Structure 1
Amino acid sequence: MRGAEDKMKMDDQMNIKIPKELKENFYFTCKQNRINSSALVRRWIEQFVTKENEAFHIDTFSQETRLDLARYMKTRLESSDDHN
């Protein structure tokens, strides 16, 4: 079974401007770590919105966020490995 993210209807897009080199490095790093780049960005946005709504100061690159993302990706990878 897949996560709650897969149950959400993905019916909209966001376009952002970033330096080409940053984009290439991001995709390369995601690929090397077997991370879905779109899922990762959605996770960052979800965390930001959740924390903002809880009236906490948001630091998207805090140690806490990095640990949350690592746990999330570990779970996703383990789930993916279980299906292979």
Structure 2
Amino acid sequence: MKIDDLIKEELKDPEFAEAYEKEGEKLQTAISLYRAREEAGLTQAELAEKAHTTQATIARIERGDNVSFDKLSEIAHAMGKKLKVEFL
């Protein structure tokens, strides 16, 4: 069975679907931060210094760990960017 088919089947379970969506949102945040950091030409350590946080914090966010709105906002401002949140 292909992974896409397995996921499609599992998504029929509401509990699985909810968890899958939440994890996808965290992954999107991680990807967005990674891309913005790369676009800014910063290493994790350089961004951490600018954002007054630790490299480990940046790494955790880029892995998809939970992060607060305030922390993301601080990181965005450290890169000269604004944080935009959308409810779709």
TM-score tier by shorter-chain length is 0.3 to 0.5
Which structure would you say has the larger RCO, counting Cα contacts within 8 Å and 6 or more residues apart?
2
From the CA coordinates, give the structure whose radius of gyration is larger: 2
TM-score normalised to structure 1 length: 0.32
